[in-house]
């Protein structure tokens, strides 16, 4: 048993990210594998990194796999290019990538709606040499506004995420204030108020942020939380982050949403990556 505080875990609702866990299995087998491991909720990056508009056959097959497994889809990324890989998002990249993001907006929103998913994550996109940063930021706001309206149409929140600079040096949102400021701009433009912060404790820790301070400042603005230990992006207990303490602080600050498990499984199969969490708490 790891040093993770199980009293803190008992107060959480955990979802498994099927784009980083259970990837040793074909996509359509992952929801059932998560259910077999004892989880009732899953989340996904956009499952078709090469196609923002897959045909109905692929969408219907994934929907059926999730429904047949009896798990809830709690979060879905909009199209963001090659993840994992060199891309970090698409919506602020002029040209083809931005066009692909726009083409994906309603496809992703409708798929999320078909499964009752209430959170859509829009990754910003790397800086590119051929575009002025101000031009990219203006394009990003346009596309985030479109995404926020699509999310609102299905009763969902739009998530804006900060990544970490060591692993994503060209990604411009590398702090909690960065991401919250973008969400503020979206809300000011749409008047909808549904743009929220995705608080990924791993990325924020890699940026050297004061995590208790981030929680104190931004929990009320947070629409979703993701965790991995640091260093290494492994399961809780494999690094040095006080994740149980931080999750307890989040609960005390009023966060009662899902906590996404977005960590690497380690050297073995993903089914063995949850020993830190007793089955009755999953």
Tell me: the pLDDT tens digits for 151-163? 999 999 999 999 9
Place of tokens 């007793």: 278
pLDDT for 9: 67
pLDDT for 11: 78
- Say whether 41 sits in a helix, a strand or coil: strand
pLDDT for 1: 33
Report how far apart the first and last C-alpha atoms of the chain are (Å, whole number).
Answer: 15
pLDDT for 8: 66
Residue (of 137, 147, 213, 145) closest to 175 by Cα position: 213
What single-letter DSSP state applies at residue 79?
P
pLDDT for 280: 86
| Alpha-carbon span 256 to 224, nearest angstrom | 9
pLDDT for 4: 63
At the fourth CATH level, which superfamily is domain 6-281? Divalent-metal-dependent TIM barrel enzymes (3.20.20.150)
Residues of the chain with pLDDT under 50: 1-2
Contact between 120 and 112 under an 8 Å Cβ cutoff? The reply is yes
What single-letter DSSP state applies at residue 169?
T
CA–CA distances in Å: residue 5 to residues 207, 247, 248, 249:
24, 10, 9, 13
- 43, 97, 209, 262: the catalytic one is 262
pLDDT for 193: 98
- 43, 97, 161, 209: the catalytic one is 161
Q: Verify whether residue 262 is a known catalytic residue.
A: yes
């Amino acid at each position: 048993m790891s040093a993770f505080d199980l009293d803190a875990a008992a107060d959480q609702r955990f979802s498994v990210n099927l784009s980083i866990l259970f990837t040793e299995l074909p996509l359509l087998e992952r929801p059932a594998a998560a259910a077999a491991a004892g989880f009732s909720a899953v989340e996904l990056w956009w499952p078709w990194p090469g196609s923002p508009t897959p045909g109905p056959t692929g969408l219907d097959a994934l929907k059926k796999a999730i429904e047949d497994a009896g798990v809830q889809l709690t979060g879905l990324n909009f199209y963001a290019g090659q993840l994992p890989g060199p891309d970090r998002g698409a919506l602020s990249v002029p040209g083809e990538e931005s066009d692909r993001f726009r083409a994906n907006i309603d496809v992703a929103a409708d798929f999320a709606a078909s499964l009752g998913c209430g959170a859509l994550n829009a990754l910003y996109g790397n800086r590119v040499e051929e575009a002025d940063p101000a031009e990219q930021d203006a394009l990003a706001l346009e596309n985030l506004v479109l995404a926020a309206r699509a999310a609102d149409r299905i009763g969902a929140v739009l998530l804006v995420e900060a990544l970490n600079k060591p692993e994503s040096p060209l990604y411009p949102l590398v702090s909690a204030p960065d991401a919250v400021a973008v969400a503020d701009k979206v809300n000011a433009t749409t008047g909808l108020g549904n743009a929220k912060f995705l608080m990924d404790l791993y990325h924020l820790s890699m940026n050297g942020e004061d995590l208790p301070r981030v929680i104190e400042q931004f929990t009320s603005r947070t629409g979703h939380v993701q965790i991995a230990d640091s260093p290494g992006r492994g399961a809780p207990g494999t690094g040095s982050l006080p994740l149980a303490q931080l999750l307890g602080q989040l609960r005390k600050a009023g966060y009662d949403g899902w906590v996404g498990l977005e960590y690497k499984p380690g050297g073995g199969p993903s089914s063995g990556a949850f020993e830190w969490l007793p089955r009755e708490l999953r």
